[in-house]
Amino acid sequence: MRKTFLSIVTMFGLLCLSLFYWQVCADIQNHPANPRYYQMFKEDRGVIFDRHGVPLAASASDGSVYARNYSTPSLSHVVGYFHQRYGMTGLERRYHEDLSQGRSLITTLDLDVQKVAEKALAGRQGAIVAIKPTTGEILALVSSPGIDGNALDGNWSSYLDDERSPFLNRATHGLYPPGSVVKPLVYGAALGEGLVERSQTWQDQGSLVLGNRTISNYGGRAHGSITIDQALAVSSNVVFAQLAISLGDRLLEMFRRFNLGIEVGFDLQNLGGFLPSGVASDYDAAQMGIGQGELLVTPLQMATVASTIANGGAMMRPYVVQEVRGGLKMRQITRPQITSQVLPPSHASALQEAMILAAREGTARTSRPSSLDYGGKTGTAQTGPGGDHAWFIGFAPTERPRVAIAVLVEHGGSGSQMAVPIGVTVMEAALGIDQ
Amino acid sequence: MFRTLYRTWFEFAGWLFCLSWWLFWLQGQICWWQPLVLWVSFMVLFFLTKQLGYDPGALPFVAILVLTGWVFLTRLNPTWATQQFWGALVACAAYVGGLWGCRRRFAHPLVWAGAALALLLATALFGQSAGGARAWITLFGLRFQPVELARIFLVFYLAQYFTEGRAWWELVLILGAFFLLLAWQRDLGPALLVFFVFWWMSLYWKFTWPKLFVYIACTVLGFISAYLWFPHLRSRAMAWLWPWDYLDSKGYQVLQGLFALRSGGLVGQGLGAGFAHVIPNVHTDYLFAVIGEEFGLLGTFSLLVVYLALAFWAVRLLHVVEEKRVQMIGLGLTLLLHVQVFLVVGGILRLVPFTGMTLPLVSFGSTSLVSQFAMLGMVAGLGGKRGGD
C-alpha cells in the first residue's frame, strides 16, 4: 500500500512538473492562435507623454480595434511601436504590462528637441543622443533613417528591402570607431596618472614615426609648440598618440570606467561596443589614443561620456522613463542615480575648458553664426570605403551645462563641417535658444 | 492529529463557501443558498459517517473539491451550477448507499462482470450520442452514463478474479468484451482508465517484470491499433501529438486549454477574469484549465494536493484491512478516481491523449458525481469500523 501511495505521488509529481512548465515557463502567450493576444488591440492603452505633457503615443479606436498614433516618426527608435501584425518594440514593449493596464508613461524626452534632431539628420544615416548631464535624462534620441510607426502597414516591405537598415537603432546598436572624440578620455587618463601638466608644451611636427609606420595629423598639419589644451582644440594626433603610448593599458582602464565596452543599464536595449583586452604594441596604443584602433562605441555611450565630463566627472545613469502613472501603483518615479565618479571634478573641469577652447578656436567651431556658448570635440573616424564618419560630442552652456550631446553622421566626412552644426542646432533647441 | 487536520480542512471548506457566497452576493446572483446547503449536507454526511463508526476523513476534501467545482460552474454559467447542485445532493445519498451496501455479502464475480457488460451492451444498443461517443441512456426522463456504474462493477469482478485465482481465459474474454463494447460506443476514456486500473491492480497483486513489459507492450500495441482502425481515435491522437499542426480543427481544444493555463501564470488572472469561453466543452472537459487560468499555478497545485490527500486517506484506511478481497476492491475504487485525475489533467497537459472524461468531483456531470460519491462511500465502508480514536 505504501508503494501504491508513492506511485500516486509520483504520478501527481509528474503532473505538477508539467503544470509548472505550461503555466510559468512555456512561451506561447503571443502565439497567433491565442485569442488573448488580440484582446490587447481591442482595449485602450496608456498614453506615453514627453517631459512637458505632450502626448508622444496615444490610442484611437476605429469602433472595433484601437490603433496607436505617434507624434513624430523618429519616435519609433525610442518609444517603439505597437502593432497588431508587427508586434511591439521599444518602450511599448518594455512597459507593455503597465501600458496595457491603462497606466501612462511620462518620459524625459522633449518632443521639440526630438523633432529638431530628426530634421537635422533627415536624409542622412546617423544618430543623435541628447542628455541632461546633471540627471541623465534623455532629451532626444534619434536614429536615421527611422521607421514611421504610423505607417507600418504600407511601408513594411520597403523597410525590409531598404539597404540603409532603417530598423537598426544606430543610437543604441550602431557600433562605430570613435575617432578623435576619445581624446578627452586620453587627456583625462593622462591627468589621472600625472603624465601631463596643463602648462607644459608639446612639439607637434605634424607626424610621429613609430618603427616603420607613421601617425599623422588630420590634413598633415604641423601645430608646432602647443599646450595639451591646445592639442585637444586642434585635435593633434601626434600629441595624443604620444600620451596613449605612455599610458598603455591604463588608457583601457579609463575607457572601462566610462562604460565603453560595457552595456549601459538603460530602459532600452543597447550594445556595449567592443573594448580590446590590452594593447599589443606602441602603434596599437597610439591608434587607440586617436580612436582608430579596435575600439567600437555606440552614440549613446559617447553621449554619456560628454554628459559625464559636463557633470564634473560624475556619471549619471541615463534614463528615458521619468514616471509610470495611474492604476493601483498610482505613481512610480525614477530618481537620478550616479553610476560612479569617473573623474575628479578638477580633471573634469580641465577637460571642459579644453573642449570650450576647441569650440571657440579649434576644430569644434561652428561654421554658422550662433550665440550658443558651448564646449565640444569633433571626430572624423576613418572607415575605409564609403567615406569617414563624422562625430561631435559637446555640452552647453559652458557654465553649469544643461545639455550634453553626441552626434554621429555615417560617411559624413569631416566632423567639424558635418557634425558640429547639427550638434549646435540640437543644443540650441534643448536650451530654448531661437536660431 | 488527524482529527485536527480534518477540522482544519472543514474550516477551509467553510471559508471557501463564505467566499463564494460573498462573491455571488456582490454579483447579484441569487443562488447563494446552494453552497450553504451543500456545505451543510457534507457536514451531516461527516457526522453520520462518524456516528456509524466509519472514517469520515474523505468528506472535507470532497467538500473542497465539490465547492470549488460549483464556484467555477457558477462563474461559467449558473444553470450548470444549479444542475451540479442537485447532482451533488443525489450523490450524498449515493455515498450513504455505498457506505451501507459494500459490507454486504459479495455476489458471485461473474454476476458483477455480467452486470457491467449488460450495462454497456444496453448503452450500445439504446444509447444516445453526445460529444462523439454514444454513452448516454435515458430512463424515466433522466439521462445518465451507464459506463460510470459499469466500471465500478468491473472493479468488483477484477478484485475477486485476483483473490479467488480465477481462470485467465475468463478474464481475457470479459475484458475483451468490455473494451470492444466501449470501442463500439467510441468511448476511449473509460477503456483507457479501466485498462490502467487493471494493470495497476494486477501488479499490486503480484509484481513481476515480464508482466510489466507485457502491459507496456499492450498499451503501445493498443494505441497503434486504435490509431489505425478507429478514425475518431485517430483524430484524438493527432490532436495529442501534433496540436500545432491542427490549430483550428483537431488541436483547437488542447491548445486553447494550454493558452488558458499559461495565461494563468503563478497566481492567476482572478476569478471571472479569464478567457474561458473559447474552450469547447469547458464545463465538462476543461474546468481544470479554467481554474488554472483564474487561480494560477497556486490554485492547480492546491487542487492536486487535495486529491493527493484523498488518496492518502484511502490508502491509510485500506492499509490495515485484513481481508484481501476487500483491500483489492478498495484499491481498485481509489485507483479509478486517481487514475482518472491523472488522465484528465495529463490529457490537458498533453502527457497522455485527451480522453474527454470529467475531473472527478469538480467537473460538471451528475452521473460522474454520483458514482464518485458512491465509490468514496464504499471505500469508507470497506475500511471498516474504527475502534476508539
Q: Is A393 helix (H, G, I), strand (E, B) or coil?
A: strand
CB atoms within 10 A of CB A69: 12
Range of the domain at A242: 173-320+337-431
User: C-alpha B243: how far from its chain's center?
Assistant: 25
Hey, which residues does A202 pair with through a beta bridge? A226
CB proximity list for B50: less than 8 A, separation 6 or greater: B56
Residue A204 lies in a domain: yes
Residue B297 and residue A39: Cβ atoms within 8 Å?
no
Burial A13-29 (b: 16+ CB within 10 A, else e): eebbebbeebbeeeebe
Q: Is A294 helix (H, G, I), strand (E, B) or coil?
A: coil
Q: Report the number of distinct structural domains present in chain A.
A: 1
Residue A18 and residue B204: Cβ atoms within 8 Å?
no
Q: Over range A282-287, report the average pLDDT.
A: 90
Contact A171, A142 (CB under 8 A): yes
CA-based torsion, B96, B100, B102, B103: positive or negative: positive
8-state DSSP, A297: B
Residue B351, chain A, CB below 8 Å: the answer is yes
By C-alpha distance, the chain A residue nearest B279 is: A35
Residue B275 and residue A35: Cβ atoms within 8 Å?
yes
CA dihedral B129, B135, B137, B142 (to 10 degrees): -90
Residue in the structure block whose three cell numbers are 587607440: A288
Model confidence at A55, pLDDT cuts 50, 70, 90, reads: very high
| Chain B hits for A7, Cβ within 8 Å | 200
Give percent of chain B with pLDDT exceeding 90: 41
Nearest to B276, CA basis, from B86, B74, B135, B136 = B74
| Chain B hits for A1, Cβ within 8 Å | 315, 318-319, 331
| Chain A hits for B296, Cβ within 8 Å | 23
For an interface test with A, the pick among B203, B246, B261 (most A C-beta atoms closer than 10 Å) comes out as: B261
Hey, which residues does A403 pair with through a beta bridge? A396
Min Cα separation A58/chain B (Å): 25
pLDDT at B5: 62
Model confidence at B39, pLDDT cuts 50, 70, 90, reads: confident
Residue A33 and residue B342: Cβ atoms within 8 Å?
no
pLDDT at B356: 83
Question: Which candidate from A9, A18, A23 shows the least CB-CB separation from B308?
Answer: A9
Min Cα separation B120/chain A (Å): 29
pLDDT at B228: 85
More confident residue, B24 or B339: B339
Residue B297 and residue A15: Cβ atoms within 8 Å?
no
Residue A4 and residue B331: Cβ atoms within 8 Å?
yes
pLDDT at A425: 94
CB proximity list for B192: less than 8 A, separation 6 or greater: B343, B352, B353, B355
For an interface test with A, the pick among B262, B352, B382 (most A C-beta atoms closer than 10 Å) comes out as: B262
Residue A253 lies in a domain: yes
Range with lowest mean pLDDT among A50-59, A239-248, B16-25: B16-25
By C-alpha distance, the chain A residue nearest B320 is: A1
More confident residue, A227 or B137: A227
Strand pairing report for A314-316 and A321-325: unpaired
pLDDT at B19: 67
pLDDT at B4 over 70: no
Residue B297 and residue A34: Cβ atoms within 8 Å?
no
pLDDT at A265: 78
Cα distance between residue A136 and residue A404, in whole Å: 10
Min Cα separation A38/chain B (Å): 12
Residue A144 lies in a domain: no
Nearest to B131, CA basis, from B358, B367, B373 = B358
Q: Is B102 helix (H, G, I), strand (E, B) or coil?
A: coil
Residue A328, chain B, CB below 8 Å: the answer is no
Residue A258 lies in a domain: yes
Q: Give the DSSP H/E element, type plus range, for residue A67.
A: strand A66-70
pLDDT at A43: 84
Model confidence at B18, pLDDT cuts 50, 70, 90, reads: low
Residue A2 lies in a domain: no
pLDDT at A21 over 70: yes
Contact A56, A71 (CB under 8 A): yes
Contact A275, A295 (CB under 8 A): yes
Burial A281-298 (b: 16+ CB within 10 A, else e): ebbbbbbbbbbbbebbbb
Q: In what order do the strands lie in the sheet with B142-144?
A: B128-130, B133-139, B142-144
By C-alpha distance, the chain A residue nearest B313 is: A5
Q: Over range A336-363, report the average pLDDT.
A: 93
Residue B312 and residue A28: Cβ atoms within 8 Å?
no
CB proximity list for A240: less than 8 A, separation 6 or greater: A180, A183, A186, A187, A231, A232, A289, A290
Quote the Cα angle for B5-B8-B14, to 5°.
145
Burial B240-264 (b: 16+ CB within 10 A, else e): beebeeeeeebbbbbbbbbbbbbbb
Model confidence at B34, pLDDT cuts 50, 70, 90, reads: confident
pLDDT at B8: 66
Q: Give me B163's grid cell.
A: 483473490
* Phi, psi dihedral angles at B206 (to 5 degrees): -155, 115
Q: Over range B48-56, report the average pLDDT.
A: 89
More confident residue, A24 or B132: A24
Angle between helices A249-257 and A237-247 (to 10 degrees): 100
More confident residue, B387 or A305: A305
Residue A210 lies in a domain: yes
Helix H segments across B145-230? 146-164, 168-184, 188-205, 209-229
pLDDT at B284 over 90: no
pLDDT at A434 over 70: no
Distances (CA, A) of A11 to A158, A186, A261, B307: 54, 66, 50, 12
pLDDT at B118 over 50: yes
pLDDT at A99 over 50: yes
Residue A5, chain B, CB below 8 Å: the answer is yes
Cα distance between residue A118 and residue A121, in whole Å: 5
Cα distance between residue A412 and residue A417, in whole Å: 9
Cα distance between residue B33 and residue B70, in whole Å: 12
pLDDT at B132: 60
CA dihedral A385, A390, A391, A394 (to 10 degrees): 180
pLDDT at B359 over 90: yes
Residue in the structure block whose three cell numbers are 557600433: A175
Question: Which candidate from A1, A15, A20 shows the least CB-CB separation from B318?
Answer: A1
pLDDT at B389: 44
Residue B259 and residue A11: Cβ atoms within 8 Å?
no
Question: Which candidate from B265, B339, B345 shows the least CB-CB separation from A23?
Answer: B265
Contact B39, B66 (CB under 8 A): no
Cα distance between residue B276 and residue B260, in whole Å: 7
Amino acid at B216: I
Distances (CA, A) of A158 to A72, A165, A167: 19, 10, 11
Cα distance between residue A397 and residue A374, in whole Å: 5
* B204-258: pLDDT as tens digits: 998 889 989 999 998 899 888 888 887 777 888 888 888 888 887 888 889 999 9
pLDDT at B147: 87
Q: Over range A69-76, report the average pLDDT.
A: 90
Residue A141 lies in a domain: no
pLDDT at B197 over 50: yes
CB proximity list for A193: less than 8 A, separation 6 or greater: A247, A250
Cα distance between residue A330 and residue A326, in whole Å: 5
Hey, which residues does B134 pair with through a beta bridge? B129
Report the phi/psi class of residue A62: left, alpha or beta, with left for phi > 0 and alpha for psi in -120 to 50.
alpha
Q: Over range A126-147, report the average pLDDT.
A: 95
Give percent of chain B with pLDDT exceeding 70: 87
CA-based torsion, A286, A291, A296, A297: positive or negative: positive
pLDDT at B388: 43
Mean pLDDT of chain B: 86
| Chain A hits for B351, Cβ within 8 Å | 14-15, 18
8-state DSSP, A281: S
Amino acid at A219: G
- Scan residues 12-51 of A and list those with Cβ closer than 8 Å to B: 12, 14-16, 18-20, 22-24, 26, 28-29, 31, 33-36, 39
Residue A4 and residue B204: Cβ atoms within 8 Å?
yes
pLDDT at B160 over 60: yes
CB atoms within 10 A of CB B286: 27
Residue A23 and residue B342: Cβ atoms within 8 Å?
no
* A209-222: pLDDT as tens digits: 888 888 888 888 88
Strand pairing report for A375-381 and A389-396: antiparallel
Hey, which residues does A380 pair with through a beta bridge? A390
For an interface test with A, the pick among B349, B354, B379 (most A C-beta atoms closer than 10 Å) comes out as: B349
Min Cα separation A27/chain B (Å): 8
Residue A18 lies in a domain: no
Q: Give me B207's grid cell.
A: 509484481
| Chain A hits for B206, Cβ within 8 Å | none
pLDDT at B233: 77
Q: Over range A165-189, report the average pLDDT.
A: 93
Q: Over range A159-185, report the average pLDDT.
A: 92
pLDDT at B187: 79
Cα distance between residue B124 and residue B135, in whole Å: 8
Contact A391, A100 (CB under 8 A): no
* B344-356: pLDDT as tens digits: 999 999 999 888 8
Rg of chain B (C-alpha set): 21
Tell me, what CATH number does A309's domain have?
3.40.710.10
Residue A11 and residue B342: Cβ atoms within 8 Å?
yes
* B256-271: pLDDT as tens digits: 999 999 999 898 888 8
Cα distance between residue B298 and residue B223, in whole Å: 34
pLDDT at A435: 58
Q: Over range A134-151, report the average pLDDT.
A: 93
Residue in the structure block whose three cell numbers are 576644430: A363
